[in-house]
Amino acid sequence: MRSPAVDPSGNKVVICNNCNESHNMTEIISNIEKSSGEFAQNLEHVMSGKGCHWEDLAQKLICHMQLLDRFIQRPWKEYNDCQEAIKQCYAMKANCYSYKLNAISSG
C-alpha cells in the first residue's frame, strides 16, 4: 500500500499496490479490531471446549479469517491461530457427538 492520504471526511485512505483501489484505513482497522476482539472470545470457547456449538463457532471463525485474509499480510499469528481453531471445530464436530442415555427402568 502506498502512503495514506486524508479524504475530506478526515479518514486515512490508501491506494492498494495490487488492486489499485482506494481503501478507507480507518474503517478497515476498526473492523479488524472489532473482529479480533470477538475472535479472542471465540478462541477461549474453543480452548475450553465447554458448551460449544461447534458449527456456529466455526462459522464465526471463518468470517474472521476471511476478513484477515483480505487485509493482512501473512505470516500473522492471529491468522494461524484462527486456522487452528477452525480445524479444532471441525475435528470436534466430526469426532464427538453428544447424546442422552434414557434411563432404563428395572422391573
Domains identified in the chain, total number: 1
Residue 49 inside a domain? The answer is yes
Whole-number pLDDT of residue 106: 45
pLDDT at 58 over 80: yes
Q: Would the CA dihedral through 73, 77, 80, 85 be positive or negative?
A: negative
Residue 50 inside a domain? The answer is yes
Residue 19 inside a domain? The answer is no
Residue 83 inside a domain? The answer is yes
Which residues form the domain of 40? 29-95
3-state secondary structure 18-75: CCCCEEEHHHHHHHHHHHHHHHHHHHHHHHHCCCCCHHHHHHHHHHHHHHHHHHCCCC
Residue 87 inside a domain? The answer is yes
Residue 2 inside a domain? The answer is no
Residue 56 inside a domain? The answer is yes
- For cell 484505513, what's the residue? 25
Q: Could you tell me which residue, 79 or 104, shows the higher pLDDT? A: 79
Residue 8 inside a domain? The answer is no
pTM over 0.75: no
Confidence of residue 12 (pLDDT cuts 50, 70, 90): confident
% of the chain surpassing 90 pLDDT: 38
